[in-house]
Amino acid sequence: MSNARKPRKPTARDRMRLADPVTVNAMDAAVRAGAARFAGPMDAVMGDIRRLLAGRSPAALRGAEAVEFMSLRAELDGIAMQQKRFMEADAHSRLNRDEGGEPVRA
């Protein structure tokens, strides 16, 4: 009996990386840039949510606490949308550069 492990089946991401490594690298870099740029605001709001919940379920919140929770979730959703737009623009910018690193003008 052999203790050799079976090779892992390639994921969709693995296949995409083989087919179009430039695009995947641009997307990965955009995700890292977006995470770095928005980590502070997201962490701050998540900290507020955790403090508000204090181990409770959101369904257990009543009155002003429930309203504050909804407000914090809306703020978090807004930051997430800003991050998404930033990452899309960043990936687009990375993919649309000429050989000298300058953005391509249409």
pLDDT along the chain (106 residues), means of 10: 79 86 91 97 98 96 97 98 96 80 54
pLDDT at residue 103 in the model? 55
pLDDT at residue 1 in the model? 54
pLDDT at residue 67 in the model? 98
pLDDT at residue 100 in the model? 63
pLDDT at residue 75 in the model? 98
Nearest partner of 34 among 94, 96, 99, judged by Cα: 94
pLDDT at residue 2 in the model? 60
Whole-number Å distance between alpha carbons of 92 and 83 = 14
